[in-house]
Structure 1
Amino acid sequence: MRALPRSGLQLTALGLGCSQLGGLYRPMSFADATALVEAAWSVGLRYFDTAPYYGYTLSERRVGHALATRERDAFTLSSKAGRLMRPDASVRPGDDGWAEPLAFRPVFDYSYGGIMRSYEDSQQRLGNPRIDILYVHDIGVMTHGERHTHYWDQLVAGGGFRALAELRASGEVRAIGLGVNEWEVAADAMNEAALDAILLAGRYTLLEQTALEPLLDVCARVGTAIVVGGVFNSGVLAGNGRFNYADAPAEVVEKVRRLSELCERFAVPLPAAALQFPFAHPAVVSCVVGARSIAQLQQNIVWLEQRVPASFWAALSNEGLIAANAPVPEEGA
């Protein structure tokens, strides 16, 4: 268990990311989704992250059902706000990558009212009045392009950040933050609100450390926790050839090849190195990983517990495969 510095809220070092429970790219049955959460619980995971967007509300419903009989103080639950889910009969399998989405269409709304409505809707879908961490989901240029300024204004001038602050001040949520794929908008948000945590997907990994100095080092100084998502960069570090939800470009493939060669030299599985690397940074409190099956979940735990020699981490740095100032794990840590 690790604590968020500002709130003291406890997270397990490994959390279960629940996008697959919403059928990301492939369908997952209700029974398999429930069994996956049960398996995660049985091996000690107590942090579960979901969002309204995952499966167009499907993930939240399944997570809520799977955790319904658990003592509420025994786990930490996060969800997200920024999209309102509106009934829409035109939704079809495959929309936005969801294999079996429910008939609700996401509509972006980061305003005061939008954040509050999203939070209340999530409570009902989860069947649980308590959401421990509420993240603003997918704000940024990567998601919104030329509309980013419009939605950013909803957060800042339109009261979105104020809604989050009120929910925290009232005790309805224990922590607030951002759940994003780009570090730049997280850095901007820290100038607008006192964030407890940032769920950063794909930008601080074995493959890329672009967020190191401009974000993670600042977070360590001010007490904003980093929850790392996307440790495998959409899967390219676990062998599926995808990066940022698309086929990996040539320069990424080449760097993965060099990382793989180094791993082979030290008999270290590349995914094990990828999963363990972010934990060395003092701002990082947890990594959330998804899983399509119990076997995949168990494999992630094996990789997390794999012994990686200090000489491997030293070679990684010496050969310029990570940023020179990136901290590396201590052997046995």
Structure 2
Amino acid sequence: MSSTADNPTKYPPRTAPISSIEMPQFGFGCAPLGDLFVETSEADTRLALDTAWDAGVRYYDTAPWYGHGLSEHRLGGLLRQHSRQGYYVSTKVGRVYLPAPRGEDKRVQWCGGQNFEVKYDYTAEGLAVSYTQSQLRLGQSSVDALIIHDLDQGYHGDKFDRYYQQLKDSGLEYLHNLKSRGEISSVGMGINALGDFEFFADRIDLDFFLVAMPYTLLDQNSLNTAMKRCIERGIKIVVGSPFASGLLTNPTNPDVRYNYGPVPDYIRARAIGLQDCCAEFNVPLMAAALQFPLLHPAVYSIIPGARTARQITGNMENFNLNIPRELWTEMKNRGLIVPDAPIG
């Protein structure tokens, strides 16, 4: 399979403008718009998006994986109403979609979503098809950042080496060529597990990692490994799951999730300890969860997910709440966060 360097005209440049806005500190994570955990109506998701825009949110992150294209379709309904230069948008590459065979339901891992069949492809050609499909769903001829999605060792198992080789052989070059031609502004990579974060922090040239779990108020195990390496290499961090996939919104709720699954008892106990500590300072746990990652010098943005207007409003209120430094110090005193975690 040839690389883009062998055939530089294969992917002609697109001329639509990219946003003049740099990556803001606060964004809208659009996974819930793909019916993650809960099926959500068109009316509710539209109200959430309109509320976010009216409140000044200008950074939106989505992916083909979210509802097998549903999140991108829904987000596109908002973005098409506004000037392309007025917002920052990122989506992800690595999955190509095909119509599901007649009579088969391929909506795996989503409560609703669209019935399409997914194929993984990290070659230049595969990433180009993935990007084109996203442009069509979003109704946009450009995005600001493209993010390599779910190239995880645990997720892909014995197929990981093949997909990683595809990325090294041609996929990463394709993304950097897009950036060098001004068609995107940044190249990112999504990370869900600490082992993958540590593996790629030394092995791949990126503008940023989108880190979904390995650095939160509950987990700072990456602090002196991958996070430190990102500082040394000048790689930015976007935190994509500041609520640890839900637990830090309400740790006493028996139905809440951690790392997208059931909550281990010891993790729930620590989350409740964090909540109790916050209560002594009259600070909502959600506010601490949103603001803590940004105290790290490598973290540029947080993009909490939301599916309703109420969640968007609450996220923004908690993001803007004034938190006393003494809260972070007390968390360290109680062993709730690691002693050398940056706190301001």
Query: Fold match, TM over 0.5?
Result: yes
The answer to whether the aligner puts 1:82 opposite 2:94 as a matched pair is yes
Paired position in structure 2 for 1:255: 270
Q: Does the CA contact (< 8 Å) of 1:36 and 1:294 recur in 2?
A: yes
How far is 1:151 from its partner?
1.6
Q: Partner letter of residue 123 of structure 1? A: Q
The answer to whether the aligner puts 1:279 opposite 2:291 as a matched pair is no
Q: Partner letter of residue 128 of structure 2? A: M
How far is 1:172 from its partner?
1.3
Structure 2 CA distance for aligned equivalents of residues 153 and 193 of structure 1: 12
Q: Does the CA contact (< 8 Å) of 2:201 and 2:226 recur in 1?
A: no
TM-score when scaled to structure 2?
0.88
Misfit runs of 4+, over 6 Å: none
Structure 1 CA distance for aligned equivalents of residues 153 and 208 of structure 2: 20
- Counterpart mapping for 1:132-281 below 5 A: 132-157=144-169, 159-239=170-250, 240=253, 241-281=256-296
SS at structure 2 position matched to 1:242: coil
How far is 1:234 from its partner?
1.1
Give the counterpart of 1:112 among 121, 124, 127: 124
Structure 2 CA distance for aligned equivalents of residues 106 and 326 of structure 1: 39
Deviation larger for 132-141 or 25-34: 25-34
Q: 1:91 to 1:314 in 2, by over 3 A?
A: farther
Q: 1:216 to 1:310 in 2, by over 3 A?
A: same
SS at structure 1 position matched to 2:28: strand
Deviation larger for 206-215 or 262-271: 262-271
Structure 2 CA distance for aligned equivalents of residues 254 and 124 of structure 1: 45
The answer to whether the aligner puts 1:315 opposite 2:330 as a matched pair is yes
Structure 2 CA distance for aligned equivalents of residues 264 and 124 of structure 1: 46
Q: Partner letter of residue 114 of structure 1? A: G
Deviation larger for 265-274 or 40-49: 265-274
> % of aligned pairs identical?
37
Structure 2 CA distance for aligned equivalents of residues 90 and 63 of structure 1: 28
Q: Does the CA contact (< 8 Å) of 2:122 and 2:167 recur in 1?
A: yes
Q: Partner letter of residue 178 of structure 1? A: M
SS at structure 1 position matched to 2:224: helix
Deviation larger for 75-84 or 311-320: 311-320
How far is 1:223 from its partner?
2.2
Structure 2 CA distance for aligned equivalents of residues 20 and 264 of structure 1: 28
Q: Does the CA contact (< 8 Å) of 1:15 and 1:48 recur in 2?
A: yes
1:307-331: CA deviation from partner (whole Å, max 9, x where unpaired): 22221111111222111111014xx
SS at structure 1 position matched to 2:27: strand
Q: Partner letter of residue 135 of structure 2? A: Q
Q: Does the CA contact (< 8 Å) of 2:24 and 2:59 recur in 1?
A: yes
- Which is richer in strand? 1
Higher relative contact order (CA 8 A, sep 6+): 2
RMSD: 1.9
How far is 1:258 from its partner?
1.8
Query: Structure 1: any 5+ residue segments left out of the alignment?
Result: 1-7
Q: Partner letter of residue 223 of structure 2? A: L
Q: Does the CA contact (< 8 Å) of 1:164 and 1:176 recur in 2?
A: yes
Query: Structure 2: any 5+ residue segments left out of the alignment?
Result: 1-19
Structure 2 CA distance for aligned equivalents of residues 261 and 69 of structure 1: 43
Paired position in structure 1 for 2:32: 20
How far is 1:35 from its partner?
2.1
Q: Does the CA contact (< 8 Å) of 1:91 and 1:102 recur in 2?
A: no
TM-score when scaled to structure 1?
0.91
Q: 1:218 to 1:191 in 2, by over 3 A?
A: closer
How far is 1:161 from its partner?
1.0
- Counterpart mapping for 1:89-128 below 5 A: 89-90=102-103, 92=105, 95-128=107-140
